[in-house]
């Protein structure tokens, strides 16, 4: 396992970055779902990636992961179709859109992504020695750590309501309407999770796309339906040559984003959005710029850091390596990095992919703004909804040629929307 063909590996990294830079502008396309398609195609067409250079597929997907962490701001902010880590950006992003500053909001998130990569660069040397020791201490206690996070999320719903109303029923309803909706969402989501992870609801051949309709239904379709029903008109967007940002604001957004992203990257089941929300509560910052930027930091640290953990050589851990996130799980059967050189090479891919993705974010945001100015927002939402529904129904069919399984996946999408 040498690095002699690093140019070929770098070309694959660039291909993954550029492909993701344009692919992830489309609402609801997640890199995990797309990776399942690529791996399935690779199984049929062995020439996609050189068998004697296993790092090529890792470099390709690392470029795609970094690109997704930065680029999924566009569908979240401009098209109202977030993923599980960007759902909290939607409301502040909508505020920026209504203030004609959607481009600035997108670039603030992108700057946050670059700051997240900067954070990973600073703390990379400490991952090898500090993280294994931390894992030995926290590993046996992760169950109650996750339990505390769940309790905190539920308790953070209180208090709600203004206490206004002519009767006790109006005051009670005002206080408990959102609370009941939030708790019901949590309970129903948990129930759906038990069903999905304990009972095979799709054919085994399409197991790599088993969660696609659920996440599309939970996050994308629901947001797109809300956008369609909305009567809000998007004002003309202003594309400036500068961003309203100073070093103090950058620091205030960087810190909670790093904390939240690190929590999400290490703790199983915690996504970047949840980690960023908890860290934001802890730091108690109220500026929208800080919140949007911290979510950008959290997303990139979460997605990229999670995949980077897989490249820490297993001999640093007492019980083998550390796998976090779907990408590491998807690729673990093919290759396990064992050299420190491989880790630093992959991190070089992260730096290059982050720089290219930030430039593509500016380019894509500008043409999306032009599209929104010419085409009614509701029409774009209708088109986006059609794309995601067709994608859920036909993607497995294209790979396996089984429409019956695609029908089951569409049924799961309905469950996700509910």
Write the DSSP assignment of 97-114 as a string of letters: HHTT-HHHHHHHHHHHHH
pLDDT for 320 equals: 47
- Phi, psi at 306, each rounded to 5°: -60, -45
Contacts of 153-156 spanning 24+ positions with Cβ under 8 A: 153/186, 153/274, 153/278, 154/182, 154/183, 154/186, 156/281
Every domain of the chain and the residues it spans: 6-138+209-404
pLDDT for 115 equals: 92
Please give the C-alpha separations between residue 172 and each of 66, 156, 313, in angstroms, as whole numbers: 46, 18, 56
pLDDT for 411 equals: 53
pTM of the model: 0.80
pLDDT for 318 equals: 46
Residues 6+ apart with CB under 8 A from 282: 256, 259
Task: Write out residues in the chain with pLDDT < 70, as ranges.
Answer: 1-4, 28, 33, 36, 40, 43, 46-47, 51, 80-93, 128, 157-163, 165, 200-212, 231-232, 279-280, 282-286, 313-326, 393-418
């Amino acid at each position: 396992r040498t690095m002699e063909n690093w140019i070929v590996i770098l070309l694959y990294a660039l291909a993954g970055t550029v492909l993701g830079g344009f692919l992830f502008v489309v609402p609801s396309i997640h890199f995990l779902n797309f990776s399942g398609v690529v791996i399935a195609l690779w199984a049929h067409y062995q020439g996609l990636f050189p068998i004697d250079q296993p790092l090529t597929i890792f470099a390709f997907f690392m470029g795609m992961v970094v690109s997704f962490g930065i680029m999924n701001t566009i569908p979240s902010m401009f098209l109202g179709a977030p993923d599980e880590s960007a759902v909290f950006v939607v409301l502040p992003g909508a505020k920026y859109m209504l203030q004609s500053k959607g481009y600035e909001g997108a670039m603030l998130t992108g700057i946050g992504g670059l700051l997240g990569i900067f954070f990973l660069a600073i703390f990379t040397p400490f991952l090898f020695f500090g993280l294994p020791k931390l894992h030995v201490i926290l590993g046996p206690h992760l169950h109650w750590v996750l339990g505390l996070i769940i309790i905190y999320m539920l308790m953070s719903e209180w208090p709600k309501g203004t206490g206004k109303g002519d009767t006790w029923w109006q005051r009670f309803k005002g206080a408990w309407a959102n609370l009941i909706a939030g708790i019901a969402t949590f309970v129903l989501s948990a129930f759906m999770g038990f069903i999905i992870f304990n009972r095979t609801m799709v054919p085994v051949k399409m197991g790599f796309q088993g969660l696609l309709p659920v996440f599309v239904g939970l996050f994308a379709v629901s947001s797109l339906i809300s956008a369609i029903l909305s009567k809000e008109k998007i004002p003309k967007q202003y594309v400036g040559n500068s961003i309203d940002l100073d070093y103090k604001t950058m620091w205030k957004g960087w810190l909670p984003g790093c904390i939240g992203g690190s929590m999400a990257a290490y703790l199983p089941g915690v996504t970047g959005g949840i980690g960023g929300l908890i860290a934001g509560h802890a730091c108690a910052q109220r500026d929208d710029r800080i919140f949007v930027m911290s979510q950008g930091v959290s997303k990139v640290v979460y997605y990229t850091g999670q995949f980077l953990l897989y490249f820490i050589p297993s001999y640093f851990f007492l019980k083998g390596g550390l796998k976090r996130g779907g990408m590491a799980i998807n690729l673990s059967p093919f290759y396990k990095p064992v050299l420190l050189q491989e880790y630093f090479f992959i991190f070089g891919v992260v730096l290059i992919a982050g720089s290219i993705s930030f430039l593509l974010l500016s380019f894509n945001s500008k043409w999306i703004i032009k599209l929104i100015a010419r085409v009614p927002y509701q029409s774009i939402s209708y088109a986006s909804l059609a794309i995601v529904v067709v994608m859920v129904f036909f993607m497995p069919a294209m790979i396996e040629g089984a429409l019956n399984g695609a029908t089951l996946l569409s049924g799961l999408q309905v469950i996700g929307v509910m």
